[in-house]
Amino acid sequence: MNNQSTPEGRSRASRLLRELVALSRRFGDDPEFARGGGGNSSVKIDGVLYIKPSGTSLAALTSESVIALDIAPLMELLEAPPDRKVAGGTDEVMQVALAARVGVPDDRRPSVELLFHALLPEPFVLHTHPTTVNAVACAQSGAEIAEKLFGSTVLWIPYTDPGLPLARVIRDARRRYTDSTRTAAPRAMFLQNHGLIVTGDSMAEIEATSARLIATIKAHLADLPAISWGDVERLGAGEARAALHAVAPALRALLATGNRLKVVSFDDSPVAVSMTCSELGRELAQCGPLTPDQIVYAGSFPVVVKAVEGATPEQLIDALTSAIAERAATEAGVPPVVIVPGLGLFAVGDSCAQADTVRQVFLDAAGVTIEAHRLGGVRPLADAERQFIELWEAEAYRKGVAAGGPVAGRARGLVVVVTGAAQGFGHAIAADLVAEGGHVVLADINAELAKREAQALASVSGSGRAVGVALDVTDDASVAACFDEVVRRYGGLDLLVSNAGILRAGGVTTQPIAEFDAVTRVNYRGFFLCVRHAAPILARQHRARPDYWGDIVEINSKSGLTGSSRNSAYAGAKFGGIGLTQSFALELVGDGIKVNAICPGNFLDGPLWADPENGLFVQYLREGKVPGARTIEDVRRFYEAKVPMGRGCTPADVLEALYYVVAQRYETGQAIPVTGGQVMLK
Q: N- to C-terminal Cα distance for the chain?
A: 86
The pLDDT assigned to 1 comes to 43
Residue 287 DSSP one-character state: S
The pLDDT assigned to 4 comes to 67
Average pLDDT over residues 182-211: 96
> With 50 as the cut, is the pLDDT of residue 87 above it?
no
Contacts for 576 with CB less than 8 Å, ≥ 6 apart: 520, 523, 524
What domains are defined for the chain?
A: 7-222 (3.40.225.10), 237-403 (3.40.225.10), 415-602+649-674 (3.40.50.720), 603-642 (no CATH)
Planar angle of CA 215, 137, 371, nearest 5 degrees = 65
Average pLDDT over residues 315-325: 91
* Residue 660 a catalytic site member: no
SS3 42: strand
The pLDDT assigned to 661 comes to 97
Range among 55-69, 364-378, 554-568 rated most confident: 364-378
Q: Comparing C-alpha atoms, which of 99, 91, 108 is closest to residue 74?
A: 99
For 400, 426, 430, the CA distances from 421, given in Å and listed in that order, are 33, 4, 6
For 435-468, what is each residue's pLDDT tens digit?
Answer: 999 999 999 999 999 999 999 999 999 999 999 9
Average pLDDT over residues 484-508: 94
Report the Cα 213 to chain-centroid distance in Å.
31
The pLDDT assigned to 16 comes to 93
Residue 225 DSSP one-character state: P
Cross-strand partners of 177:
none
> With 90 as the cut, is the pLDDT of residue 233 above it?
no
Contacts for 110 with CB less than 8 Å, ≥ 6 apart: 51, 52, 53, 54, 67, 69, 97
How confident is the prediction for the chain on average, in pLDDT? 91
Cross-strand partners of 416:
440, 495
Active-site position among 159, 548, 570, 639: 570
Task: Say if residues 483 and 534 touch (Cβ distance below 8 Å).
Answer: yes
What is the pLDDT confidence band of residue 397, given thresholds at 50, 70 and 90?
very low
Helices (H), 88-127: 91-99, 114-119
The pLDDT assigned to 89 comes to 47
For 605-652, what is each residue's pLDDT tens digit?
Answer: 877 788 888 888 898 888 888 899 999 999 999 989 999 999 999 999
> With 60 as the cut, is the pLDDT of residue 403 above it?
no
